[in-house]
């Protein structure tokens, strides 16, 4: 089945901004104070995506592994930086454990999907590796942020309970076992919920894009199944690594909990 792809011009993109205008008017009317965020988000969407488009054209033409991996590494770094700026934690440093956790998770999952499941040759072929890696990063970074935020929040909220267990002879792992489990569970639930609803409540982006490009719907379904599975995998690996690495940093000498009331 072949379908002609309908092009979208700049004028049509401008018409689409009507929806942003409506959202802005609603924000003004209800005093939501989201007008600046809407404006900045819209500008960033246009600039970042057009910039990405030109970069991908350049990378696709070069077809070199070093450039593909550089772009992928930059995407991981930027995602980790976004999470770091979102979580306002000053008592415990977690950027480098976060970056390492995300890098390990995303590289393993992206490689397995492109090289083993899909069987792309070479495995770093930019037309496959960058879009798939981007979906892994974009969809699982929020889950990792939720897991990390839950870990830090519960350690601070339940600090008296943790300190009581430590004073009774438990080590930091035993004292925070339930908190660790809760953090991992919080991070994994969104991707599991997506698996429950996919195909009935919504048609995912990967499948939608392939159908719009004229692909066989059943082939698009197979790709989407792979994507859903890899998102669960990357979320599980990333959440597990980050909560384990950051939890250790929350305890100082003598396994004393460093997180105290407040976040200053």
pLDDT at 234 over 60: yes
Query: Per DSSP, what are the bridge partners of residue 257?
Result: 251
- Residue 262 pLDDT level (bands cut at 50, 70, 90): low
210-221 pLDDT per residue, tens: 887 777 888 888
Under the phi-then-psi rule, with left for phi > 0, alpha for psi from -120 to 50, and beta for the rest, what region is 119?
A: left
- The mean predicted confidence, pLDDT, of the chain is 88
Output the pLDDT for position 170: 92
pTM: 0.81
Domain positions in the chain are 1-62, 64-255
Q: Residue 59: is it exposed, middle or buried by C-beta count within 10 angstroms (0-12/13-18/19+)? A: middle
């Amino acid at each position: 089945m072949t379908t002609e792809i309908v092009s979208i011009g700049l004028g049509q993109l401008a018409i689409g901004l009507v929806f942003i205008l409506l959202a802005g008017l609603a924000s003004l009317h209800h005093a939501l104070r989201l007008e600046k965020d809407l404006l900045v988000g819209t500008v960033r969407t246009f600039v970042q995506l057009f910039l990405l488009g030109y970069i991908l054209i350049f990378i696709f033409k070069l077809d070199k592994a070093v450039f593909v991996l550089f772009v992928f590494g930059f995407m991981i770094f930027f995602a980790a930086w976004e999470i770091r700026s979102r979580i306002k934690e000053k008592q415990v440093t977690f950027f480098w454990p976060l970056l390492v956790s995300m890098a390990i998770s995303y590289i393993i999952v992206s490689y397995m999907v492109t090289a083993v499941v899909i069987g792309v040759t070479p495995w770093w072929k930019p037309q496959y590796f960058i879009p798939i890696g981007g979906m892994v990063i974009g969809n699982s970074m929020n889950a990792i942020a939720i897991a990390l935020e839950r870990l830090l929040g519960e350690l601070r909220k339940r600090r008296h309970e943790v300190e009581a267990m430590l004073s009774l002879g438990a080590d930091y792992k035993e004292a925070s076992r339930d908190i660790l489990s809760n953090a991992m569970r919080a991070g994994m639930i969104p991707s599991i919920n997506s698996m429950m609803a996919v195909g009935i409540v919504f048609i995912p982006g990967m499948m939608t894009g392939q159908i719009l490009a004229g692909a066989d719907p059943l082939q698009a379904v197979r790709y989407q199944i792979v994507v859903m599975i890899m998102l669960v995998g990357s979320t599980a690996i990333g959440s597990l690594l980050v909560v384990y690495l950051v939890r250790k940093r929350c305890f100082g000498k003598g396994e004393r909990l460093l997180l105290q009331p407040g976040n200053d």
